Amino acid sequence: MAVTHMTEPHTGDDEPLLSVRNLTKHYPITDGLLATDVGRVRAVDGIDLDVYPGETVGIVGESGCGKSTAARSLLRLEEPTAGTVVFDGEDITAFDTSALKRFRRRAQLLFQDSDSSFDPRMNVGDAIAEPLTVQGMRERTRRREIVTDLLDRVGLSAADADRYPHELSGGQQQRVALARALSVNPELLIADEPTAALDVSVQSEILALLDDLHATVGLSILLISHDLGVIRQLCDRVAVMYIGEIVERGSVEDVFTNPQHPYTRALVASIPTTDPRERGTAVELTGDVPSPSNPPSGCRFHTRCPELIQPDGYDFDQRTWRRIMDLRQHLADGTVDIETICHQSVMDHDDDTGPDQRSETEPTAKLREEFALPEQLEDARADSILESALDCLVAGDPGRAADLLATEFATPCEQHAPTLEATDAGQDASCLRHD
């Protein structure tokens, strides 16, 4: 279905329905009695996005990357910290209360958790009609007719209007949620993880319904999901988010078949495949997802990137290089527990040799083992620096060890933030390898 749309409708002359520029949402972290600002969670940190009329655009990313916050702040359900959101030629960030209320008819959000998005004391009919009532439609009979029609279209019966949300299954609730979102005939529907809480079989029903409504009503849809399969099934274009930023953006076709950003490559490789020859090729991302309250410097993906740029003059095996950087990351985070590692080495050797007979190099060898580093780096100079850093670490000076490694194994990825630019493959990606 999605494939039949133009893959890149924005090549035409038409204006985008929704145009987001530099959308930013930071949450202040406050502390103490006076609520002093001690930092900010950069949930969404300057994203640009266009949605053209009739188009389905996806935003994909891991949990906590800011997808939902992006959806809420671009609808001004939460006030964005900065940026502009132009909807049909008007900047909605400048809207006053009444203009915003009118805007709510034209853009609706479909919530992730359909169960809690319904007031348990409002029956289904009243819930679907709520946007109509709020927007000023007073005639009860007319509202009732619209609700009946909507229930019919989303595959429920008119009698369901009298039921209460808790009497419905998850799939039925999501259908009702869809009916509620459609009731004011919006031009843009933002669907925030519309199927995340559903069984797989129900998921596909809801997606089919969404796709069907998209075709019949002519909606533009911004679909937010962590599930690449869902995005691939419904969307024309996709934006990949990582810690509050868009790292790759382009047509679904381009992004999924020829991803240009290492993060996208890792995501695409993680899609389960039925082809046995393609199994086991998944790129494993090391490390934890960094916190948006303290995003990494330079390229935000550099702490986990499997394709990190190597320093001038070195040509490591890429996996070894990643592990050196992982060690640096652990040192920076202060998560290296030298006591445990060394203690473990004493324990291991207790049976055959006494502690006195241990050779001097053993703790560092143990550290290499711990961080999956080879016993000897190919490059002699690099190896000696690594060895002296490990020595510092054993000697109880992790700061100096970190400094040593940081000076020698500096990567441009931690110093320069890449910008989202067009690549040769067609889509936009923000990776220094393309700059």
Partner 1 sequence: MSSDSDSRRNTFEDVDWDEIDDTARPISHRALAIASAYAIFVGGVAYDVLLAPEGDTIASLGLSLQALDWLYILTLLTLVVFGLVPLSEHRRMTAHYWNQFKKNTAAVVSLGYLLVVFAIGSIGPRVLEKPRVDARNAYQPPVFTSVESWLPVDCVGPVVNDRCHGTWAHPLGTTHEGKDILVSVIYGMEVSMQVGLIAAFITVTIATVVGISAAYFGGWVDTVLMRYVDLQITFPTFFLYLVVVYLYGGSLFSMIVIFGLLGWGSIARIVRSEALQRREETYVLAAKNAGASSSWTIRRHLLPNVSNSVITAATLLIPSLILFEASLAFLGLGDPTVPSWGGLIASGRNDLQYAWWISTIPGVFLFGTILAFNFIGDALRDAFDPRSGGGTT
Where on the chain is the footprint of partner 1 (CB under 8 A)?
72, 75, 77, 100-102, 104-105, 108-109, 111, 113, 116-123, 130-132, 134-138, 142, 145-146, 148-150, 152, 158, 162, 164, 166-167, 180, 182-185, 217
The nearer residue to partner 1, 118 or 316, going by C-beta atoms, is: 118
Residue 303 Cβ vs partner 1, minimum distance, rounded to whole Å: 32
Tell me whether residue 143 or residue 237 sits nearer to partner 1 (CB atom).
143
* Nearer Cβ to partner 1 (166/277): 166
Which H or E run contains 214? helix 200-217
Residues 6 or more apart whose Cβ sits within 8 Å of residue 336: 327, 330, 393, 398
In degrees and rounded to multiples of 5, residue 44 shows phi and psi of -130, 125
Q: Which two tokens stand for residue 268?
A: 């695409």
Name the 3-class secondary structure at 307: coil
The least distance separating partner 1 from the CB of residue 92, rounded to whole angstroms, comes to: 13
What is the C-alpha to C-alpha distance for residues 205 and 112, in angstroms, rounded to an integer?
16
* Cβ closest to partner 1, residue 103 vs residue 321: 103
Min separation Cβ 20 and partner 1, Å: 18
Which residues contact residue 294 at a Cβ distance below 8 angstroms, ignoring those fewer than 6 apart? 39
Q: Which residues of 238-262 are buried (b: 16+ CB within 10 A; e: fewer)?
A: bbbbbbbbbbbbbbbbbbbebbbbb
Q: How far apart are CA 26 and CA 82, in angstroms?
A: 9
Residue 56 carries which side chain, given as an amino acid letter? T
DSSP state of 311: P
Residue among 35 and 380 whose Cβ is closer to partner 1? 35
Find the shortest distance in angstroms from Cβ 375 to partner 1.
Answer: 54
Q: Write down the least CB distance from residue 146 to partner 1, Å.
A: 5
Q: Which residues contact 126 (CB under 8 A, 6 or more apart)?
A: none
Of the pair 216, 335, the CB lying nearest partner 1 is at 216
Q: What is the dihedral of CA 282, 413, 241, 230, to 10 degrees?
A: -20
Q: Of 91 and 152, which CB lies nearer to partner 1 in the complex structure?
A: 152
What is the rounded distance in angstroms from the CA atom of residue 408 to the CA atom of residue 385? 8
Q: What contacts 147, CB < 8 A, 6 or more positions away?
A: 125, 128, 129, 161, 179, 183
Q: In terms of CB distance, is 160 or 414 closer to partner 1? A: 160
Cα–Cα dist 380/271, whole Å: 39
Smallest separation, CB 153 to partner 1 (Å): 8
Q: Which is nearer to partner 1, 147 or 228 (CB)?
A: 147
Give the largest CA-CA distance in the chain: 91
> Smallest distance, Å, CB 65 to partner 1?
20
**CB of 265 vs partner 1, minimal distance in Å:** 34
CB of 127 vs partner 1, minimal distance in Å: 8
Task: Pick the closer one to partner 1 by CB: 117 or 364.
Answer: 117
Nearest distance from C-beta of residue 71 to partner 1, angstroms: 10
Alpha helices in 270-379 (DSSP H): 318-333, 338-349, 362-370
